[in-house]
Structures are given as C-alpha cells and as structure tokens.
A and B are shown apart, each in its own frame.
Chain A
Amino acid sequence: MKAVKFLKKENMNSTKHTLGEGYADDGIIIELYWQRDESAIAATDRKYGKYLYVIAYNILRDSMDSEESLNDTYLCAWNRIPPARPTVLQVFLSKIARDIAVDKYRKRTAARRVPSELISSLEELDDCLACANTVEAEMLAREGRRVLNSYLRSLSKKEEFIFVCRYYYADSISSIADMLNVSESTVFRSLARMRKGLKERLVKEGLINE
C-alpha cells in the first residue's frame, strides 16, 4: 500500500476541494475507504476530526498526543476498512479513537502520571471497581465486565448515557451537563448513585467485598 501521510494538513486541504466544503455522507466516506481513495481520510477528518480529537484530548490532555492519536485513528480506520463496513461510522471511529487514546495513555502513564479527565473519572471508580490483583484477575475482569454490562442495561437511557460519557469517553461533568442541558450537580449526583448501585451489584455477585 502506498504510504499515506494522514496528518499532512496540506493534503487534506487539497482533497477538500474535490469533496466540497460540506460534510460527506457516511456512506460516501465508507465507499471512499473501500475504493482506497485517500480523500476518505480528509472527509473523515472534516466531519469527525474535532469530535474525535476531543475524545482523545479528554483522555490524554495533550494536544500533540491527541493529534497523534487522531492520526493513528485514521490509519487504523484506513487499515480496517475494508474489509470492515461500519454500520455507524461515528461509533466505529469513536471506539478506535478512544482505544488508541487509552493505549497511548497507558504507555505514557507507565512512566509518569499525567493529570487528565480520564484519571479523574477513573479515580471516582476506586470505590466500586477495586483492583483485582489476584491470580483470578482475568476471570474476575471477565465477570466484572459481564456485571458491568448487566448493570448498565438496568439503567435508564439517560443514566446509561451519563455513565458511558463519563467513564468510557472521560467527558467532564460540565460537558455532560452541557450536552444534557442539566446542571452539573444533577450529573454529579447521578454518577454517585450509579457508582453505588454498581458496587452493590458487584458485591452481590461476589466480585468485591463490601
């Protein structure tokens, strides 16, 4: 495959002219990936670049790393499509961006601790998701994921949304409140309530002690 320099701004700009200034339909963007047309990257960046950048930035809190993460997201999408044909492109890209950012975060924090919204959100979970530092860690992690998903399905859509935004995408409480057009305290209380509920569920399942 011909090397593609995804973050060359001038390349993106030049492609912009061919695609027009508007946002391309997801179907068209996916088709561009399938045709191995590099303008797919530019179209993705124009439509989802800022959105994905925020996902990365929430986790990494560093513009350089976030840019790099964004670039890796595009490369990953380029490599996965085809054969993948995402049904919802934004979801597909969001997960890639988040996973890449988290991976970068793990590597970076192996050496030093960097404050970020992700750290804040993870620390909130200390109480309910204790580290399973045992030989059964893997099994417990698997069970933990099962319980977590079961718990999320028991929540209202609004609560589920708040939980995922906060702990999966590491959105700040204020941004979640802004998105939902509610007060920060409402979000805060909702998160506290969910953490308590999750802990109870985990205790009940015997995954953590009370």
Chain B
Amino acid sequence: MNNDKHNYKLDLISGIDDDILERTTQRRYALSQRRRRGGLSKRLAVIAVAAVLAVCLVSAGVVGVMLWQNGDDHGEDLLLTSDGRRIPIFQGISVSKERPDITNTAKDDGGVQTLSLSKKPAINMGDPFGNIIIGGGIEAAATEAIAVPSSAEKIYYAEKYEDVYVTVHVSNPDGVEILSFTLNGKKYSSYMFEAGSDLQNLVLKCNVGGVEGMIEYTVDGIKYVDGTEIKDARMEGDRTVKVGVYTSNQPTAVASGERIGFNDLSFSVIVNDPHPLIPKEGERVYAVMYDGLRIIDKKPITVGETTDVTFESLKTNKLYQYGIAAVYDALDGKGERVHILYSNAFYTNEIAAFGRFTTTDSSIKFELLWAEGFDNASSCRISLWEDDVKIRDIAPDAREIDGLYSGNSYVIKVEYDNNGVTESISLGFSTDKNTVPELSITIDSVSADSVRFSVEESDPRNCGKIVGIEVVHEMHGKTVISDPTTRYITGLYSDNSYTLRVIYEYDLNDGEGVREFKRSKLFNTQANTAPRIWVHLGERTYDTITFNLNVSDPDNLLKIESIELAGEINETIVAPSVDTRKFTGLCAGRNYQLVIYYSYDLGDGNGVVKKSVSTTAYTKNYVSPSLSLEIVDVSKDAVNFSISFSDIDSVGKIEKIELFSGESLVAVTQDITSGAFTDLRPNTSYTIRVTYSYDLKNGNGVSTVYKQISFTSASE
C-alpha cells in the first residue's frame, strides 16, 4: 500500500511541466556547482581541524574506554552521537598509486581512481584483414562475440613492490573523531594515517610486496570517539578491496596439426594458464573463427588439456583467421576482458581458380584450374557479366570469349556445386582499350596544278581507314577524290590556295559505333610564268623573208596560234604551219609585217590569254636599168650611134631601136649591137629612139621606157 501511495505521488510529481523543471533545474545546477566549490573550501578547513585533533588525541593518549555497538544494530533513530552529530559511516575503501588529494575526492565521485599499467597485449597476432587500425580485428570481434561477465567488484592494479595508498572512505559530515581501524587484521591508529587524511578519508600507505596476483585488503573495526566513549562506525560499504599485481606469466595457447580443407579447418590446441588468471567457473576460453567482419563460430576450450577443434562450413578460398580467445583479468589495469592467446590467418583451399588470361580489345582467353579430386568441374556454369547484368552464358569447356567491346569491364563468373552448395569464383577483367586513331598529312610537293601528299596513320589496332579525300577551293568548292588511296592530285589551279581534307572513319568496338574525324592541310599551288616570244629576222632577199622565234616558256604554256605576213599590197599570207619560218615568193623591195599569234593558259583559273608579237620585214630592191644614147657620127645617109645599157640586176632589155623622121618611123632594128642606121636622107632630121623595158619584180609589173636622141643627117 505504501508503495502504491508513493507511486501515485511520484506520478504526480513527475508530471511537473517542463518549463518549470527547466527553470528550476538550471538554477539548481548553478547553485549546486557553487555549493560544491564552496564545499571544497570547507573541506580544506575540516582537514586542518581534523589533523590538529588527531595529533591532540594521540599525544594526550586519550583512547578512553571503548564502547561500541554493532552498526547493524543501529536503528534509524540511533544515527546520531550523544551530542546530536551524525555518526561516521564507513562507505568504502579504495586504493591508489599516489597519495590521494582529499580536496579533489568529493564524496559523490565515489572516491574511485583506476590505475593502468598500460601493458601491451602479450601476443601480436598481425593484422591479416587490415582492419585493426579502424577498430576491427579478431580481438575486437571476439570481444563482441564473447560475453565478459560483469563484476561489481572493483580491482586496483599495481606492480610488484609498489607502494599503494589505501583510502578508507567514511561518511562523517559532522566531523566525528576517527580513532582507528583494522586493515587485514592489523590495527591502524589515527597517528599512522598518511598526511592528507581527514575525518572522511583515512589514508594508509602499503607495499604490495613481491607476490604476483591478487591481494585483498579488508577493513574492519573503524572506531570513533563519541563523547567519552569509543564506538564502532557503521559499516555500509564493501569492506574488501582487491589489488591486482601484474604477472608476466600470462596464459598461452599453442596450436598444432593445422589441416586446411576446402570448407573446414581443424587443429589441436592446448591452453596453459600457469598463474592461473583464467577463472575456473564458466566457459572462459574459446577457439574462434573470424572472417574479417565478425566471429562466425566459436568452440569452447578446456584449459590445460589438448583440445581438437574443427571449424566447418567455411567458404572455399577465403581468408579467415582463427584464434584462441580467453576471458580473464590480466592484472594489467584493464580489467576482465577478452584476450587472444593465439591466432593464425589462413585461406581455405580453393576448388577452382582462374589461371592466366590474355585480353584483346574484343576477346579474352582464360584458363580455369580445378582442384584435384573435384568431380563437378565439367558441370560448372560459366557466364559473362557486365555491370551486374549477365550478358551471356558460356559453354563449360569454352576458354575464349570474343565479341566484346573494347575498354569495357566484364566479369566471368564460374559457378560450381560443392557438396550441394553452389559456389562461384569470378574473374573481373577489362578488354584492351582501343585508342582513337590519329593521322597526319604531309604535303610532299606542290606544283602549279598538282599536289603530292602523304598520310601517316597511327592506328595500332587497325580499327579505322581513310574513307575520303577532298580538295577544297574557297571559290570553287570541294572536289571529292573518288579513290581514297590517291596521294597525287592534279588539275589544280596554279597560284591558288587549297585545303586538302582527309576523312577517317574508325570503330573502337566500344559500343559507340562508327565515328569519323577529318584532318586538313592547307597548301598553295605554284604560280606559272607567262611565255614570251621575240622575232629575229633572217637575211633579206628579193623575194623571201626568213625569221626565227626566240621563246621563253619555262612552264611550256605557249601555243603559237598562227604566223602571218601582211604585205603592202598583197593579201596577208598565213603561214601554212606554225613551224613556218620562211615566206617566199614575195615582191622585191616591199615592206611586210610579220605577226606571230600565240596563246597560253597560266592555269590559274583566269583562262587562256591570247597575245601576238610582230615585226616589220622587207624584201630587197632590184636596181632599175639605165640607158645612155650618143651619136657617134652622122653622115648624109648614115648615122652611127652608141648605146650604153646599164642593167645591174638584169631586169631589163632593149626592146627596139627606132629611127623616126618626124613622126614617121623610118626604120626599126632589133639589133642593138649595130649602132647605125643607113640609107638616110641627107640633111634630114631624124630621131633615134631606143626603147627598153625592165621588171623590178616588185609587183608593179614590166616598165617600158625609151631614150631618144635627134640628129640631122649630113647634107649632101
């Protein structure tokens, strides 16, 4: 009923609103902190007073008659001394390495200080899974897996022959005088207390001695002065405290006869605990199997006896670590915990394994190795995976897979049955990555109308080819070369800029299909030189003109269209051939115009240029004949005359010699050699006319002229 009543009230009180609690709790915390700090000052004062009292009591020998009552017999109403002060109550005992600083050991911190020897683990078992540094490892896993019995017992630690300070904690708020107490049967009076003791903390220095293991200190019979009486303090706390003295004789384990199978491991182990430190009660030692993440199995081990251990259901070809884990207090200051006495890492045997493999950009060849005695190899299942998706199944006896994309990652998975359990091994690989081909264009030579080039391809995987060549002119567009093997292109305009473009297609076999790129090269065609002609005339004759042509035509562009000769009077003569260098049958003494018509095409896109060159030529003149007529002598009937006919070029002749008398023709002679007329009449006037002709062959035809002379015949 009482409990129900209290519960009801507790419920009500627990229902105080949060804002009220927050307000008061903050204030309470602040005040309690201030109070605590003030309490420390007060304690210092009490220590000083207690020290003086202790000295006084001892020096005065005031022990008096000791009357005490068993603390258990005290009722609630008997917790005061005769003068109304609260009686001292023993609350606990603790041990420390250093003399305790009483001012810093407030009652509500339990007065407990744990010491650590900082001993390294006796066994260094390596780090086969590389996880110890991040808090993993077999020891951490075993600590998780094995229950460490919790103990309310506080154990303190020391090394051999070390002095420790045993502090007896007494609740003595009213500063009742503590007279003495008994520790392990030996009585210690107040004057024996260590400096720093006060009326609530009685400090003794003890040496733990040379014995390793656990030492117990038990306190009893705390006496205090009540007026004139000496009484026993109430004993409420644990009277015994343990001090563990570290021993180097830690438990050990030796494993032997290790046999590793596909799925199991067996060995024998013996654990020795010479000191002993491993408690006898309960299962404290296990063989544990660690898979890198957790303890997957554990087997109890009997200390001091050879135990055969077999771990089964292991996975093939997997890294494991087994160890011998024991739960005990190593007396190293770290309390009862899991220790790994022995450990060894191993791989279970493998049934199947991949051997050597070689890849290309589209295939893989691999070896698959099977353990001897494994009978299910032929029924294995091989499959090809990409990105966790199965691409295809592979025949069990196939050791080559093709049709793969280059630069892709695949996994070959081999599944096989091992004692009814499907196991698998995998081989991850990447096909060789095809590199994007590269090519460079080199212009080897350029003429006025052509280009010769070469293309250097860098395509080690031979995954591409030239599929097109183009020549691009800014004005005239592109010309596609039909034959991609062409490396010489003609028909270009001279003195022009072109872009040579090579188109390359390639397929990296990476699933992206055919791609292309173009590489270009600029070049300029050479410029052609315009031809020139000079005419050189030959020796002149009366009826021919000869000539030669001097030609400058380095690019051989010249084409002589025609050669013409235009005269002053006759029609233009066109040479029958452009090779003609001589005109004949011309008129003598005439000027002619010799014209050479020619053309050329520079090939620069501007078309054929027509030009001509001319010169004046002339034929040689014939000299006209000249005639002189003289009378040599005249008689009455005859006359002698002389004719001088000068005809250098023989173009003339004397046609006739006539004798006129008046207008009448008297006589004609053809003989130009006679030079005489006879039968003249005397004293008659006569005229001799000599007619001659000549042809200068200048196109004017024959010219006839005469020369005459008159005379009178002699008179009779």
Contact = CB atoms under 8 A, between A and B. Distances in A.
B108 A106 contact: no
B454 to A, nearest CB: 67
Contacts of B28: 94, 161, 164-165, 169, 171, 179
Given A102-B10, A131-B5, A137-B8, A10 B335 contact: yes
A94 B108 contact: no
Given A51-B33, A113-B2, A152-B20, 20 more contacts: A51-B29, A53-B110, A67-B110, A88-B22, A90-B26, A109-B3, A109-B6, A122-B10, A125-B9, A131-B1, A141-B15, A145-B11, A152-B16, A152-B17, A153-B20, A160-B24, A168-B13, A168-B24, A179-B31, A179-B34
B21 A95 contact: yes
B110 to A, nearest CB: 6
Given A63-B110, A91-B26, A149-B15, A164 B3 contact: no
B14 interface: yes
A167 B12 CA distance: 10
B335 to A, nearest CB: 7
Contacts of A133: 4, 8
B108 A54 contact: yes
Interface residues of B, number: 49
A171 B29 CA distance: 12
Contacts of A57: 108
A42 to B, nearest CB: 14
B15 A145 contact: yes
Contacts of A122: 5-6, 9-10
Given A122-B10, A149-B16, A3 B144 contact: yes
A149 B108 CA distance: 31
A161 B5 CA distance: 24
A109 B2 CA distance: 10
20 contacts: A9-B114, A10-B116, A50-B109, A64-B152, A106-B10, A109-B3, A115-B76, A133-B4, A133-B8, A141-B11, A141-B12, A145-B11, A145-B15, A145-B16, A149-B16, A160-B20, A161-B27, A168-B16, A169-B28, A180-B31
A152 B16 CA distance: 9
Interface string A93-127: 01100010010001001100101000100100110
A180 B31 CA distance: 7
Contacts of B108: 50, 53-54, 57
B211 interface: no
Contacts of A145: 11-12, 15-16
B40 interface: no
Contact of B8 (A91, A119, A131): A131
Contacts of B76: 115
Contacts of A13: 114, 116
Contacts of B9: 122, 125, 129, 131
Nearest to B27: A161
A144 B9 CA distance: 10
A144 B12 contact: yes
Sort A-B residue pairs by CB-CB distance and give the 10 closest, nearest first: A145-B15, A179-B31, A164-B24, A131-B5, A91-B25, A91-B22, A149-B17, A9-B114, A131-B8, A94-B25
Given A13-B114, A144-B12, A179-B35, A106 B7 contact: yes
A178 interface: yes
B17 A168 contact: no
A42 B26 CA distance: 21
Interface of A: 3, 8-10, 13, 49-51, 53-54, 57, 63-64, 67, 88, 90-91, 94-95, 99, 102, 106, 109-110, 113, 115, 119, 122, 125-126, 129-133, 137, 141, 144-145, 148-149, 152-153, 157, 160-161, 164-165, 167-169, 171, 175, 178-180
A95 B16 CA distance: 11
A16 B306 CA distance: 44
Contacts of A141: 8, 11-12, 15
Which of B7, B13, B32, B335 has the most A CB atoms < 10 Å from its CB? B13
B608 interface: no
Contacts of A179: 28, 31-32, 34-35
Contacts of A113: 2-3
Which of A10, A63, A160 has the most B CB atoms < 10 Å from its CB? A63
B100 interface: no
A148 B5 contact: no
A168 B31 contact: no
Interface string B172-208: 0000000000000000000000000000000000000
A141 B11 CA distance: 8
B23 interface: yes
Nearest to A163: B24
A119 B6 contact: yes
A91 B31 contact: no
A119 B20 CA distance: 22
Contacts of B441: none
A157 B5 contact: no
B535 interface: no
Contact of A94 (B10, B29, B110, B334): B29
Given A50-B108, A63-B92, A167 B17 contact: no
Contacts of A110: 3
A90 to B, nearest CB: 5
Which of B8, B26, B112 has the most A CB atoms < 10 Å from its CB? B8
A88 B24 CA distance: 12
Contacts of A164: 16, 20-21, 24-25, 28
B106 interface: yes
B31 to A, nearest CB: 4
B479 to A, nearest CB: 72
Nearest to A67: B110
A54 B25 CA distance: 13
A161 B8 CA distance: 22
A45 to B, nearest CB: 10
A198 to B, nearest CB: 10
A106 B91 CA distance: 24
A19 B579 CA distance: 114
Contacts of A126: 5
A126 B13 CA distance: 13
A71 B6 CA distance: 25
A102 B14 contact: yes
Contacts of A165: 24, 28
Given A13-B114, A53-B108, A179-B32, A157 B13 contact: no
A63 B17 CA distance: 29
A91 B32 contact: no
B236 to A, nearest CB: 9
Contacts of B24: 160-161, 164-165, 168
A23 to B, nearest CB: 10
Given A51-B29, A161-B24, A178 B35 contact: yes
Contacts of B33: 51
Interface string B330-346: 00011100000000000
Nearest to A137: B8
Contact of A148 (B15, B35, B237, B335): B15
A105 B161 CA distance: 44
Contacts of B114: 9-10, 13
